[in-house]
Amino acid sequence: MKKLIFLLLATTFIASCSSDDNNNDDNYYNLQTGIDFLVSNQNGDDLLNPNTTNAYSTENIKIFYLKDGIVEEIYNSNLALPRNFKIVSPEDSGEETYFMRIFLNNFVSENAITYIKWNETDTDTIRANFNNGDNYSILSEAWYNEELIFDETINTLPIIIKN
């Protein structure tokens, strides 16, 4: 009887274990569509710091994606970041300045367009390429107004200079 109980326990234990090689790859999705950058004027003033004169206000910034030839404003009240961006403060990041984290349009793999409308008169463009697969979408390159700001060789936080 003890052998039967041991055999049942051992069989149950072995059946409940799974190796890392069979970890149900269908149960996860690796989504890396965000990019961080600093924004300053020609004098080096941090334009994301609310204490800076003429700083960009989070309330005024809007994000748009170009999808199938149509420009759509991004707003989803169910998300923690309903407009798909965040201004990160030095207190939150440990960095010396504020920076912007934006989640880019990844509805196409190549030349996905995201627009940042800073205010009523100032809009910039980010064009991005992604490596996509069944379980992933990962940013591979990004251009801010046609200037390369992200790829595998760039390992510094890009600085966007605004007039």
Q: If pLDDT is split at 50, 70 and 90, which confidence band does 163 have? A: confident
Q: How confident is the model at residue 23 (pLDDT cuts 50, 70, 90)?
A: low
Name 40's bridge partners: 46, 161
Name the β-bridge partners of 32: 138
- Please check the confidence at residue 64 and state whether its pLDDT lies above 80: yes
Give the residue with greater pLDDT, 45 vs 28: 45
Cβ–Cβ under 8 Å, residues 104 and 128: yes
pTM, rounded to two decimals: 0.80
